Each structure stands twice: as C-alpha cells, then as structure tokens.
Amino acid sequence: MARKFLYVVAVLIILAIAAAFAYRLYGIELLRRTMVPSAPFEALPEPEPNAYAKPAMWIARPDRAGNPALWVPQGLTVGANPPAAVFFIHPTSYLDRGHWNAPLDNADANGRAEIFLRGQASAFNEVGAVWAPRYRQATFGAFLTSEDSARQALALAYRDVLAAFDQFVGEVGPDRPIILAGHSQGALHLTHLLKDRIAGQPIADRIVAAYVVGWPVSKPADLPMLGLPECATAQQSGCILSWQSFAEPADPSLIFDTFDQTTGFNGLPRAGTPLVCTNPITGNAGDSAEAPANLGALFPSEDLTEATLEPGRIPARCEGRGILMIGSPPDLGNYVLPGNNYHVFDYSLFWGNVRQDAARRMAAFAR
C-alpha cells in the first residue's frame, strides 16, 4: 500500500511538472483559449443620467463606509484633509468568459476590485481623497484577442468611466488639485480620458500627475495627444508616469502581440515604438535603482486581504523599448503571468515609493 501511494505521488509530481512546462511554453495560447468569450458581444445601454451621483456606483469615495482605498500597512496613517482628489480606475477584476462586460453587481469582480484598491489606490491616500468608480469593465479575455467584440467591450467600459469622471469633477469643485491614476484596463481607459477630457482643456492645469501604470504608452504615437508630457524627473508635476514590471528572463509578447497591431492616438503605428518608462523607485524616466532604494513592496497574505510592507527587496531598471525589469523573480504567489510578467504587482512592488512620489509631486505642484 505504501509503495502504491509513492507511485501515485510520483505520477502527480510528473503531471505537475509537465503542466508547468506546458504553461511555460504555451501559456499565452492557453490563456486565450480559456479566457476569451465565445459568445457574441452584447450591446448594453448608456449609463443613466447622473448615475454616478449615487454613492453605490463607487467602490471608493471619501464618504463611503469601509472604503478599501483607506487601507495602509501597519505603522502608517491616512492623510488628514488631503489636499488633492484622486480619480482611480481599477484594473480588470472580471474573469468570466460568459460575457464581454461585467455586470455592475457581480460579487466576484467587485470583491477583487476592492482587493486591488487596497494594494494600489491606497498608495495615494496620504495626499489625496480617493474616488474609484464601478464600471462595466471588459472581461480579461478581451485583452487576449483582436476580435471586434473586444473593441466594443472596451468602448462600453470607457463610456462608464467618462460618466464617472464628469461626476467626479463636479463633486470635487473647480479648484482642487487632481491626481489621475489607473492600472491595466484602468490605465488604458485613463489614456483615452487624458485625450478626451484633459488635453487642451483648462482642467489640465489642475493635474498633479497621471499614473498610467500597467499599460503601454507609445512616445511618438500616443504621448503627443495626451495633453501632458512624460515625467522626466521626480520633481516634476503635471506629467505622465508609466511602467510595466517584468522579472528575468522577460517575455513581453503577451503585451506587444496585440499592442503592436494598433495605431496610436495620432494615427502613427505603435509597432516597435519606444514606450514611456518611469522608474517608480526614483521617479525619473528611464533610469535604474538598486533594491536598497525601494521604500517598501507589499507582500500579501494568502487571502490577499492584508500585506506587509518590506523595504529593500525589489530593484528596478528601464530597458529595451521601455520595460521595467525587477531582477530575479520574487515569490509573490500564483498571480504571475506568462513571460515573468509581474503585471498584477505593478503598484505593490513599489508601494512605498509611489506613496513618496505622489507626495513629492503634490509639493512640486503646490510650489
């Protein structure tokens, strides 16, 4: 019996190794087959007028009880009467392939979104009151295909984001400084928002910084149309930051295969173009920093409800077209994407430095 058990264990180990090997070789294709919806796109109505005047349409807002964006690691505190207002667009938290867009009342998607706010938007709560809308986000599989349904799903999600932003601007008043931030799908929508609501408008003078994190921004094809320059230095305000995190060896094809098939906001092809790459440790464009300069990465608990802030663990350097390299793969659980893509952790790897960066740019803006 013991020998039979050992045989079973050996077989399971071999199967696990084989599965890991297959995922490493075919991970991107496996993701596409399992995550892209097979159903046709379903057109949904426009947001109701003044829909975002309802507090229930926000995952985070200053008057929301249990606001997940107010989380901080042990030993830190939320800013009292912070000077800025933060509009934060959360990343994809809807993984269902049965629909192209998430229902607003989907409990799983909303629960994941709250986790993301705790680990991402919380970095800004020292200097800004965080507003983060619910929106009918496109499902994860929409980013793994060039089908027209994916484009339609993203356009529908963006309409919600625009409606939320317009309500946000009316709520925070005409003079308050604004920080814009997002991640992944949220960062994609943020690029469109910058083009449609910020570029060439008086409100551009109120933008402390725009954190377009986890989504590529082409320097020649996108940046000229976004209304704000790239953040060249850490002391600059009124500018755009962006990075995408990979450990070594990196394979960014999951991003570039789709991105390089598109044209930028000014009509130029994005294929092969250099990207905005801000080093989140230094706040400067295109440079490098060793791990001791990292003020703290969030290492999550198994259920992702808590995290410890651990400094000096993760380095960062911009290389190639503009990918942020973080050295050897840190052990952060099962959420690393194929190609050593630490996309899920773009904020949490540098949480302490993002917090410092926001405060520094707020001080520069005030001056």
Digitized pLDDT (tens) for each residue of the chain, 367 residues in all: 443 333 333 333 333 333 343 444 445 566 666 677 777 788 888 888 899 999 999 999 999 989 999 999 999 999 999 999 999 999 999 988 888 999 999 999 999 999 999 999 999 999 999 999 999 999 988 887 777 888 999 999 999 999 999 999 999 999 999 999 999 999 999 999 999 999 999 999 999 999 999 999 999 999 999 999 999 999 999 999 999 999 999 999 878 988 999 999 999 999 999 999 999 999 999 999 999 999 999 998 777 678 899 999 999 999 999 999 999 999 888 889 889 999 999 999 999 999 999 999 999 999 8
List phi, psi (to 5°) of 112: -65, -40
pLDDT of residue 245: 98
Burial of 357 (0-12, 13-18, 19+ CB in 10 A): buried
Residue 110 belongs to a domain: no
Residue 31 belongs to a domain: no
Element (H, E) at 86: strand 84-89
d(C-alpha 169, C-alpha 178), whole Å: 9
Residue 112 belongs to a domain: no
* Parent domain of 354: 36-53+140-366
Residue 75 belongs to a domain: no
Domain tally, the chain = 1
pLDDT of residue 304: 66
Model pTM? 0.90
Residue 115 belongs to a domain: no
Q: Give me the long-range contacts of 296-301 (CB less than 8 A, separation at least 24).
A: 296/73, 296/351, 296/352, 296/353, 297/330, 297/345, 297/348, 297/349, 297/350, 297/351, 297/352, 298/73, 298/119, 298/348, 298/349, 298/351, 299/332, 300/119, 300/332, 300/333, 300/348
Residue 359 belongs to a domain: yes
Residue 23 belongs to a domain: no
Amino acid at 198: I
Q: Is 147:38 a contact under the CB 8 Å cutoff?
A: no
Strand partners, 316: 289
